[in-house]
Chain A
Amino acid sequence: MLNADSLKKIDREIAKYPADQKQSAVMAALVIAQDEKGWLAPETMDFVASYLGMPPVAVYEVATFYNMYNMQPTGQFKLTICTCLPCGLQGSLEAADHLKSRLGIDFNETTADGRFTLKEGECMGACAMAPVVLVNNKRMCDQMSADKLDALVEELRKSPSGKA
């Protein structure tokens, strides 16, 4: 179900916990599975569950609790903009509106070319640098003015490899 590389990474995570508590590795395993597949399909979660010896529904609980796990397929780049209070005071709502009009999509939508998905995020712990945008869960961009947002979008549009 997952490729050998991912399984090796998951095994490494499992090794960090006592043998009878493999389920402790569930969050890491889901991250690894998502990195490979792009999102967590029910079959993927089923696989992780059986790999860790957990009830499938317990994996589903974890996956749905944290919003960095994608429960639906996303575009090539998932942009998550924080709309919590400090970011909001620093103009993240305007930044979000800018992104929406620039990309022509609303929150939880994907552009027609499959490049961008826009998500509303919760506090990322970088309030001092508000507003913040997270690209594909891994790269954080701070103090996102309209100009910086435009530059980010341009950069990602040109990125051939799909790497953020």
Chain B
Amino acid sequence: MHISTDIWTWVAVILTFGIFSFLWKDNPFYKFCEHLFVGVSVGYTIALTWYNSVYPDLITPLFRQGKPLYVIPFLLGLCYFFRFIPKASWLVRIPMGFVLGWASGVAIPAFFQTNVIKQIQGTLLSPALFARWDVFLWALISFIGVICSVLYFFFSREHKGALKVAAETGIVFLMIGFGASFGYTVMARMSLLIGRFQFLLRDWLGVIR
């Protein structure tokens, strides 16, 4: 056992226990850590955004290399500050319109190609699937599952008759899907706890590698 003598490791340990103290009950120590976390994350984001984005992408080309075209994104960016001046707050809509229009225009073909066309292609039963019985069977089950699950979300008509059968089949697939997600979620949450325990045992107490 080699307990760390580094003061900053001890700070990290104290903050870890501060957050863990919430397991007992909500308390001032936890609240302190929670508010510290919010402040530090935002402060960190400001510094990184300045040095990694604003300075190299705007300040350098506009003011150091003298590229005049960069005055347009500069002015658009400055408009965000008007959000806090009530009389001119409408100006914030200009950069938002620019970004939303751009992102929406870019997203439509990308979403269509990646999440619609390719996914439809993957669902269809192609002749190649008939080569092996198990591959074909799983593809057929997937095909039925996709169609029925989509039909479950079809609320424009009352679920009765064939639609009811399809929707109920869809629920079976959806429940299995949610169950699978939950199964994996257990692993995800446990991983984070294990990570923290590894930190305490290794970096602080020095009892494991």
User: Do they bind each other?
Assistant: no
Binding site for B on A (CB under 8 A): none
